[in-house]
Amino acid sequence: MDISVVIPLFNEEKSLQELHDWIANVMQSNRYLYEIIFIDDGSTDTSWKVIEQLSEKHKEVKGIRFQKNYGKSQALDAGFELAQGRVVITMDADLQDNPEEIPELYNLIVKDNFDLISGWKKKRYDNVISKNIPSKLFNAVARKTSGLKLHDFNCGLKAYKNEVIKAVKVSGEMHRYIPVLAKNEGFTKIGEKVVKHQARKYGETKFGMDRFINGFLDLITISFLSKFGKRPMHFFGLWGTLMFLFGTTSAFYIGAYKLYKVYNGIKTILVTDNPWFYIALTSMILGTLLFLAGFIGELIIKTKSNEKHYTIKEKLNF
């Protein structure tokens, strides 16, 4: 199979038929062998019914239905697990991503041997204040932190080699950082392509300021995980040891200085009246806790399982 198109969605009943027809026209025009995987992330409208109707008429249409709304990352992860195409294309279901971009994305992966191509919506039709400006700020920070020179980390239109999506595990809200996850797994040939952005035709945007804030929190998480995710003791153990040594040294100095004054008959205060005593004691406690955090982190990594954090209610054509 040439291409798998993975489409996560939530309450997009009005756009699904049109999106399918558009994708199918592009695929058939280029004579690709393909599959379209719709992942219904707990929609409360008739989205699943539309997917059922499409799958009955077209064998290349496949569907996954979640028990409830888990989020885009979990939807993509479920689609990635079942995708069979040599190249995997992801896009949003709101008709803002243009399927006409698929042939060029496919060629960049197959002919130019890129591991991953990320779309760049250079010209956008979103609200400037609520989405464009926060998005530019977010992408600037993501570039600086990750080292990847991509302009639009959050663009839903991306293309991957199949082995890339099988290697990465997308959880939480990490869908924005799949290029970073791929880089961490050793896939370094990551490129970017300017893609057309369509104005939303149906429904309302799912974007809110909470997603903007969560994006920065996830960026901090993935920055830490990329450096210390497989060796947490190198971070927590180092700082724990340094703090414990600082506390121990300070406590030893306070005690020795107290004994010196007592021995020489010099008037002195109680150790517990010395503020440095509490600083030393706090440093020792924090150092111990940090060291234990690193040790527990190492144990979790060694024993963790690859359990899924979503429940699939139904599948179609798998």
Could you tell me if 222 and 275 lie in one domain? Answer: no
Which tens digit of pLDDT belongs to each residue from 103-141?
A: 999 999 999 999 999 999 887 665 545 456 767 777 887
Could you tell me if 141 and 272 lie in one domain? Answer: no
Task: Please tell me the pTM assigned to this model.
Answer: 0.75
Could you tell me if 51 and 132 lie in one domain? Answer: yes
Whole-number Å distance between alpha carbons of 161 and 127? 33
Could you tell me if 129 and 12 lie in one domain? Answer: yes
Residue numbers of the domain that contains 150: 3-228
Whole-number Å distance between alpha carbons of 82 and 99? 21
Scanning the structure block, which residue is given the tokens 């199949």? 162
Of the residues 228, 243, 261, the one at which a domain ends: 228
Q: Is residue 314 in a domain?
A: no
Q: Is the pLDDT of residue 206 over 60?
A: no
Of the residues 228, 247, 267, the one at which a domain ends: 228
Q: Mean pLDDT across the stretch 199-228?
A: 67
Nearest CA-CA partner of 281 in 241, 248, 235, 233: 248
Q: Is the pLDDT of residue 27 over 60?
A: yes
Could you tell me if 152 and 89 lie in one domain? Answer: yes
Could you tell me if 16 and 157 lie in one domain? Answer: yes
Residue 147, Ramachandran bin (φ over 0: left; ψ between -120 and 50: alpha; else beta): left
Sign, CA torsion 307/167/178/119? negative
Of the residues 228, 261, 280, the one at which a domain ends: 228
Could you tell me if 43 and 112 lie in one domain? Answer: yes
Residue 209 — pLDDT band, cuts 50, 70, 90?
A: low
Could you tell me if 10 and 77 lie in one domain? Answer: yes
Give the number of domains in the chain.
Answer: 2
Scanning the structure block, which residue is given the tokens 């992966």? 109
Could you tell me if 152 and 197 lie in one domain? Answer: yes
Could you tell me if 71 and 201 lie in one domain? Answer: yes
Check residue 261 and give its pLDDT.
Answer: 86
Could you tell me if 196 and 242 lie in one domain? Answer: no
Q: Is residue 36 in a domain?
A: yes
DSSP string, 138-172: HHHHHHHHH----S-TT-S-EEEEHHHHHH----T
Return the CATH number at 127.
Answer: 3.90.550.10
Nearest CA-CA partner of 40 in 18, 22, 63, 61: 63
